[in-house]
Amino acid sequence: MKIGILTGGGDCPGLNAVIRAVTKSALRRGWEVYGYLDGFKGLVEDRRRRLTDRDVSGIIIRGGTILGTSNIANPFSYTLSPYGSPGAPADMTERAIRNFRKLGLGALVAIGGDGTQSMSLRFHKLGLPVVGVPKTIDNDLSATDFTFGFDTALKVATEAVDRLHTTADAHDRVLIVETMGRYAGWIALRAGIAGGGDVILLPEIKYRPADVTAAIRERRRRGKNFSIVVVSEGAAPEGGGMTVMKTVEGSTDPVRLGGVSYRVAEMIEKGTGIESRVVVLGHLQRGGEPTPFDRWLATGFGAGAAELIAAGRFGRMVAVRGPEFVSVPLSAAVGKLKRVSPGSCEVRAALGVGTSFGRADLAARLLKRVCS
DSSP string across 77-122 = GB-STTT-BTTB-B--HHHHHHHHHHTT-SEEEEEESHHHHHHHHH
8 Å CB contact between 21 and 35: no
pLDDT score recorded for residue 370:
65
Q: Which CATH number describes the domain made up of 151-286+341-366?
A: 3.40.50.460
Q: CB under 8 Å to 63, separation ≥6 — which residues? A: 11, 13, 15, 16, 152, 286, 287, 288, 289, 290
Q: CB under 8 Å to 319, separation ≥6 — which residues? A: 134, 143, 144, 145, 325, 326, 327, 328, 333
**Catalytic residues, which ones?**
138
- Residue 238, helix vs strand vs coil: coil
8 Å CB contact between 320 and 135: no
pLDDT score recorded for residue 347:
93
Sheet of 2-7, strand order: 48-51, 32-36, 2-7, 107-112, 130-134, 316-321, 324-329
Distance of alpha carbon 157 from alpha carbon 288, whole angstroms: 13
**Segments of the chain scoring below 70 in pLDDT:** 245-246, 248-254, 367-372
Question: Is domain 2-148+290-333 in CATH 3.40.50.450, yes or no?
Answer: yes
Distance of alpha carbon 249 from alpha carbon 91, whole angstroms: 15
Write the DSSP symbol of residue 141: B
pLDDT score recorded for residue 145:
92
pLDDT score recorded for residue 253:
66
Q: Where in the chain are the domains?
A: 2-148+290-333, 151-286+341-366
| Identity of the amino acid at 211 | D
Other CB atoms within a 10 A radius of the CB of residue 328 amount to 18
Positive or negative torsion for Cα 199, 201, 204, 209: positive
pLDDT score recorded for residue 246:
66
Distance of alpha carbon 363 from alpha carbon 348, whole angstroms: 8
Distance of alpha carbon 116 from alpha carbon 124, whole angstroms: 12
8 Å CB contact between 24 and 128: no
8 Å CB contact between 289 and 58: no
